[in-house]
Amino acid sequence: MVPDHAPYVVIGAGIHGLSTAWHLAAELRSRGQGDGRDVLVLDKSDVGAGASGVACGVVRNNYFQPAMRELMAHSVGVWESDPDAFAYHGVGYLQLAPAAMHDDVVQIYSEQRAIGYESELIEGEDACRSYMREMFSDWHGEGISVILHEKRGGYATNQASLRGLAAKARAEGVQICPGVQVTGLNLDGGSVTAVETDQGSIRCGQLVVAAGPWVRDAWSMLELPSRIPVTGPDGQVHRDHPMWTYWALQEGTIEVDPNEFMDNRGQFPPVVHVDSDAPLRDDIDGSLITDQMWGIYYKPDFHFGGVQGGAAPQRIELDADRVAVDPYGTESPDFVVGDDFIRMWTSALAACHKRFEGKRDLYRKEPSGGIGAFTPDSFPVFDVFRRNAYLIADANHGYKMIGVGALVAQELLGEPHPLLEPFRFSRYETGELHPTSNSPFPWS
């Protein structure tokens, strides 16, 4: 039975919605201002049925942007606080990069050290090759001149971690209502007074939108503009910039025993991310795939049943109704990654490790990756709209940022948090955008 009112209504039972509900309920109880019964989570499907449930699960601090790096350091701490409940594997994270990215990687390393985040820097092609062969005897990747090895971070099993979050929220008294479709929002006097659903109207005091790729629909329900002015780094104002763009995430799995991808000590390796400007050739016929910079990431994963990872996403166009139908692609054949990705990713794996040569026929052809909703600068927006609607728009950085919910909970209770300050919507008008690196990935 869906209640007809709640002081706090959260839309979305993914990583952000569940984390916010859990932390908010705990904060209310500790402050003597209420408890979890004041918090209601709605989801049109179920816990983890959306983007969080199909996420690759990588947890990293590897960001060129100082604000993202500090925010992720906080989130890694939350992952580490209960690794069993969150199905978290703290194996670390490796970034391998070419000379064109050297200065970016060195800056990340220096700023990680400044905030006490443990990592190791390796410079020079010979030193990088030796470092990787000490870890993997079959390493033969080319064009790598700098490595950043984050000792913390790793990956989590997405569905299990979401079940763990839901259990923590329910233990605090939070009511999670699956199968409830939000159809509209009532606005009165500049505030959201009620959430309209297919099971009735729910009056609310504060609303939290944690809808992942559905954020565009909630934005529209809040009667906010689909195109906004954005001031670029050069001071030029782009007056008709789309608020939301969509990228198809390119991820997949080769169906080998995950135990086959161990390091030389027989232990699980760090998550590996390779950016390279060495020409990439087809593993099967030797034809050129690209002579431009390319990037992949990969890890052994028993949940996915093989070696799982991905590459840079592709920008796509969606019609007005598409996001409401299936934003993360599990029912959309055209969002299954195509042959170009399979060719590129399996060839790149083979270019890095001899053990992956000739494994393309083991690629599992199934819906994977889905889509992500990106903001104008491809970084999150955490802010209040219509007086009482808190928007969590993660710009596809979401799953790894489990700690955002703890900070949002504090803000909902009147305590602005400095880690979220750089992610306000106002930055698009002021031009205080996050810096970009030379990585081929739009979120770096």
Question: Residue 73 and residue 68: Cα distance in Å, rounded?
Answer: 9
Give whole-number Cα distances, 382 to 132, 215, 224, 409, in Å: 38, 12, 15, 12
For residue 32, what pLDDT is reported? Answer: 96
Q: What mean pLDDT do residues 7-18 have?
A: 97
pLDDT tens for 174-193 read 999 999 999 999 999 999 99
For residue 63, what pLDDT is reported? Answer: 82
Q: What mean pLDDT do residues 49-73 have?
A: 87
Determine which of 369-373, 381-385, 389-393 has the lowest per-residue pLDDT on average.
369-373
For residue 441, what pLDDT is reported? Answer: 61
3-class SS of residue 323: helix
∠ at Cα 323 (206, 326), nearest 5°?
110
Q: Which residues contact 103 (CB under 8 A, 6 or more apart)?
A: none
**Domains 1-89+154-239+378-444 and 93-151+245-374 fall in the same CATH topology:** no
Determine which of 211-220, 359-368, 396-405 has the lowest per-residue pLDDT on average.
359-368
Q: What mean pLDDT do residues 405-412 have?
A: 98
Residue 383 has pLDDT above 90, yes or no: yes
For residue 434, what pLDDT is reported? Answer: 79
For residue 440, what pLDDT is reported? Answer: 63
Q: What mean pLDDT do residues 369-397 have?
A: 92
Percent of the chain with pLDDT over 70: 93
User: Which segment, 106-115, 133-142, 302-311, is predicted with the most confidence on average?
Assistant: 133-142
Residue 322 has pLDDT above 50, yes or no: no
Residue 402: how many other CB atoms lie within 10 Å: 28
For residue 56, what pLDDT is reported? Answer: 82
For residue 433, what pLDDT is reported? Answer: 85
Determine which of 12-16, 67-71, 338-342, 368-372 has the lowest per-residue pLDDT on average.
368-372
Residue linked to tokens 């109704």: 321
Strand spans (E) along 317-439: 371-374, 381-385, 389-393
Q: What mean pLDDT do residues 150-169 have?
A: 95
pLDDT tens for 280-301 read 999 999 999 999 999 999 999 8
Percent of the chain with pLDDT over 90: 76
Domain boundaries defined on the chain: 1-89+154-239+378-444, 93-151+245-374
For residue 325, what pLDDT is reported? Answer: 40
For residue 55, what pLDDT is reported? Answer: 79
For residue 51, what pLDDT is reported? Answer: 82
pLDDT tens for 65-124 read 889 999 999 999 999 999 999 999 999 999 999 999 999 999 999 999 999 999 999 999
Q: Strand 119-123 and strand 182-188: pairing?
A: unpaired
Residue pair 58/441 in contact (Cβ under 8 Å)? The answer is: no
* From the candidate CATH numbers 3.30.70.100, 3.50.50.60, 3.10.180.10, 3.20.20.10, the one assigned to the domain spanning 1-89+154-239+378-444: 3.50.50.60
Residue 398 has pLDDT above 90, yes or no: no
Q: What mean pLDDT do residues 34-49 have?
A: 95
Strand partners, 201: 196
Q: Return the HEC string of 226-268.
A: CEEEEECCCCCEEEEEECCEEEEEEEEEECCCHHHCCCCCCCC
Question: Residue 48 and residue 430: Cα distance in Å, rounded?
Answer: 36
For residue 330, what pLDDT is reported? Answer: 41
**In residues, how long is the chain?**
444
| CATH no. of 93-151+245-374 | 3.30.9.10
pLDDT tens for 232-273 read 888 899 889 999 998 888 889 999 999 989 999 999 999 999
Buried b (16+ CB within 10 A) or exposed e, 57-72: bbbbbbbbbbbbbbbb
Longest dimension (CA), the chain: 67
